[in-house]
Amino acid sequence: MGPALPLLLGLALVSLSPSPIAGVHQDEAYEDYAYYDYTEEPSTISDYDLSWLTDLFDVLDECEPNPCLNNGVCDNLVEGGYKCTCPRPYKGKQCEAREDPCKKAKCGRGECVLTDKAPFYECVCELPFRGPDCRKVSRCRPSPCLNGAKCKRGRTRTQFECLCPAGYSGKFCQVGPDDCMVGNGESYRGSVSVTAEGKACLPWNSHLIPNAGEILANSVDGLGPHSYCRNPDGESAPWCFIRKKSKLDWDLCDVKTCSVPPTVPVIHEATDPPTPAPSSGQFAQCGKPEPGRATARVFGGSKALPAAHPWQASMQVRPRGSFTPFRHHCGGILVGSCWVLTAAHCINRMHEMQVELGGVNLDKAEDSEQIIPVERFIIHEDYRETPDALHNDVAMLRLKGPKGQCAKETRFVKTACLPSGPLPDATECSISGWGATEQDSYSSQLLSAKVRLISKDRCTAPTVYGNRLDDSMICAGKMEGGVDSCQGDSGGPLVCQKDGTYYVYGVVSWGDSCGVKNKPGIYARVNHFIDWIAAKLLSD
């Protein structure tokens, strides 16, 4: 059974819909009212009990709380619903998206990057090209060489070279003798800006990087309007995005390892004291990734940054009774300190299970990760697998530990909130997992993508899934294909943001193939299972 909110919204819709026979209904309502009026006539208008009217307006105020993001201004529409007026450069129903002025900009021999001020873009020229559209050529005037390097003109019109002083390197001699990294370079803030193969790094605010606008708005993890190599996601070394045959790709950079301990202490983020779990068995907060990091995700290049999906679990298995290493099998979603929501089809009674929380790289032991054995599982009583579909594909994993004290709440490990009602079709949500990509059967790095909720009508069209769907399922993805969940992502989250909080809206379940046109991903519809999930959470 669904929660109360869908019912409320249903009522609101009924009261809102302009009916062709509205006049008749109004007359009837008036007659009722007139009769009541006659028997108990109030002395003044203020004596009428108008609370029903204010109640009605309460229900109808779709701008409370403000659904518009990024300082958008909300207006209720007469015909129902709301409209957000978005400040530039934001757009979309809820001002959630950013316009891409780079689509129209002409940057010649340069890269179009997003900026904070109108016209919200600029061209970063590939020197010696210069000017607002990178079409002028000027090699050494002014000199692009840094650290006292001399600029030397080459034979052709565009050739130049920076002659670096001893100890300096890089095309512009920007890499100094102390430019080095410690460990895997997570704290590296130096100036190397080419990959190990010598490819020029794209600026982190390049419009080619799907989340460039958000990276720009939250200059965290050393990312910002520059093209230096960084390691925000636990890679083996600093890396950067590059252009490869006009497509976005990424590669590691060759940064020197420091030979002496750096003078500035390296702060290890994972040593944050964990917030004590409250006795209710729930974490202090749900659905809030680390401030500033929530939006600092890198998609498209498809890498997800640490702490951006802190409810993401890797469900790992090995044959029961064996001592072979655990391997990633499915995704999961942390919904309580001791409870992970996953897909029923991920569970095999012959498997011993554990979950890994707080990590992004499955091939590496990370300081931020927590590995917890699974004590028991509960498969939904109505779970059914047919050749056509997976019905009621949800299960709960009870982690090992005393009530409320299994996973510890840290900046890398947090619960997702459970939704309290439906979200509109076309809401932008995100999926994440270590599942199959176009290239590989599994990804060692956590990947993430944006998808949209797809209406039941569109998804049950004969060319899509026809009558194979039931109320336990929801469709999300892109009808045109390309962005989707896949094998190995099953059991993982489809989360949607509302007023800055993330709600788990779906559990990756099934679909015809992956990323194919007209075959979006099918997710177990969490709204349909709220009572079932809550009962398990409260049971223990």
Size of the site for ligand 4AZ (CB under 6 A): 11
Please state the closest distance from residue 147 (CB atom) to ligand 4AZ, in A.
Answer: 51
Report which of 176, 168, 174 is spatially closest to residue 193, judged by C-alpha positions. Answer: 174
SS3 of 471-538: the string is CCEEEEECCCCCCCCCCCCCCCEEEEEECCEEEEEEEEEECCCCCCCCCCEEEEEHHHHHHHHHHHHH
Between residue 184 and residue 213, which ones bind ligand 4AZ under the rule CB under 6 A? Answer: none
Please state the closest distance from residue 478 (CB atom) to ligand 4AZ, in A.
Answer: 11
∠ CA 124-129-131, rounded to 5°: 65
Region from 155-163, 257-265, 370-378, 505-513 binding ligand 4AZ, contact rule CB under 6 A: 505-513
Please state the closest distance from residue 490 (CB atom) to ligand 4AZ, in A.
Answer: 4
Q: Which two tokens stand for residue 326?
A: 């655990």
d(CA 168, CA 173): 5
User: Which residue do the tokens 């929530």 mark?
Assistant: 294
Asked whether position 454 contacts ligand 4AZ by CB under 6 A, the answer is: no
Please state the closest distance from residue 434 (CB atom) to ligand 4AZ, in A.
Answer: 12
In the set 179, 393, 484, 489, the catalytic residue is 393
Please pick, from the candidates 510, 527, 530, 537, the single residue that binds ligand 4AZ as defined by CB under 6 A.
Answer: 510
d(CA 314, CA 342): 10
Please state the closest distance from residue 484 (CB atom) to ligand 4AZ, in A.
Answer: 4
In the set 328, 329, 345, 391, the catalytic residue is 345
Q: What is the Cα Rg of the chain in Å?
A: 28
- Contacts with ligand 4AZ, 329-358, as mask; x by CB under 6 A: ------------------------------
Asked whether position 299 contacts ligand 4AZ by CB under 6 A, the answer is: no
- The smaller minimum CB distance to ligand 4AZ, of residues 164 and 447, is found at 447
Reported in sequence order, the residue ranges of 226-326 that DSSP labels E, i.e. its strands, are: 239-244, 247-252, 312-319
How many residues can be counted in the chain? 540
Please pick, from the candidates 296, 341, 508, 533, the single residue that binds ligand 4AZ as defined by CB under 6 A.
Answer: 508
Residue number, nearest CB to ligand 4AZ = 511
Report which of 107, 359, 113 is spatially closest to residue 215, judged by C-alpha positions. Answer: 113
Asked whether position 483 contacts ligand 4AZ by CB under 6 A, the answer is: no
Please pick, from the candidates 144, 170, 281, 521, the single residue that binds ligand 4AZ as defined by CB under 6 A.
Answer: 521
Contacts of 51 (CB under 8 A, 6+ apart): none
Please pick, from the candidates 149, 418, 511, 524, the single residue that binds ligand 4AZ as defined by CB under 6 A.
Answer: 511
Please pick, from the candidates 174, 314, 485, 497, the single residue that binds ligand 4AZ as defined by CB under 6 A.
Answer: 485
Contacts by residues 319-325 (CB-CB < 8 Å, ≥ 24 positions apart): 319/350, 319/351, 319/352, 320/350, 320/351, 320/352, 321/352, 322/352
Asked if residue 89 has a cis previous peptide bond (ω within 30° of 0), the answer is yes
Asked whether position 369 contacts ligand 4AZ by CB under 6 A, the answer is: no
Confirm if 79 and 109 have CB atoms less than 8 A apart.
no
Please pick, from the candidates 112, 229, 362, 486, the single residue that binds ligand 4AZ as defined by CB under 6 A.
Answer: 486
In the set 430, 448, 472, 490, the catalytic residue is 490
d(CA 334, CA 312): 7
Burial class (CB in 10 A: 0-12, 13-18, 19+), 348: exposed
Q: Which two tokens stand for residue 396?
A: 């709960």
Please state the closest distance from residue 294 (CB atom) to ligand 4AZ, in A.
Answer: 25
- The smaller minimum CB distance to ligand 4AZ, of residues 185 and 492, is found at 492
Please state the closest distance from residue 330 (CB atom) to ligand 4AZ, in A.
Answer: 8
Confirm if 213 and 221 have CB atoms less than 8 A apart.
no
The values of phi and psi at residue 175, to 5°, are -95, 110
Active site residue 393: yes
Region from 82-90, 145-153, 303-311, 509-517 binding ligand 4AZ, contact rule CB under 6 A: 509-517
Region from 99-107, 315-323, 357-365, 486-494 binding ligand 4AZ, contact rule CB under 6 A: 486-494
- The smaller minimum CB distance to ligand 4AZ, of residues 315 and 508, is found at 508
d(CA 507, CA 332): 8
Please state the closest distance from residue 507 (CB atom) to ligand 4AZ, in A.
Answer: 10
Please state the closest distance from residue 513 (CB atom) to ligand 4AZ, in A.
Answer: 7
Asked whether position 514 contacts ligand 4AZ by CB under 6 A, the answer is: yes
Confirm if 434 and 383 have CB atoms less than 8 A apart.
no
Asked whether position 484 contacts ligand 4AZ by CB under 6 A, the answer is: yes
Please state the closest distance from residue 373 (CB atom) to ligand 4AZ, in A.
Answer: 23
- The smaller minimum CB distance to ligand 4AZ, of residues 332 and 336, is found at 332
Active site residue 490: yes
- The smaller minimum CB distance to ligand 4AZ, of residues 130 and 380, is found at 380
Between residue 219 and residue 248, which ones bind ligand 4AZ under the rule CB under 6 A? Answer: none
DSSP assignments along 411-429, one per residue: SS--BPBPPSS---TT-EE
Please pick, from the candidates 66, 487, 501, 518, the single residue that binds ligand 4AZ as defined by CB under 6 A.
Answer: 487
Region from 35-43, 60-68, 213-221, 478-486 binding ligand 4AZ, contact rule CB under 6 A: 478-486
Q: CA separation (Å) from 193 to 20, 23, 113?
A: 65, 70, 16
Please state the closest distance from residue 414 (CB atom) to ligand 4AZ, in A.
Answer: 24
Beta bridge partners of 522: 475, 510
Burial class (CB in 10 A: 0-12, 13-18, 19+), 305: buried
Residues taking part in catalysis: 345, 393, 490
Residues found near ligand 4AZ in the complex (CB under 6 A): 484-487, 489-490, 508, 510-511, 514, 521
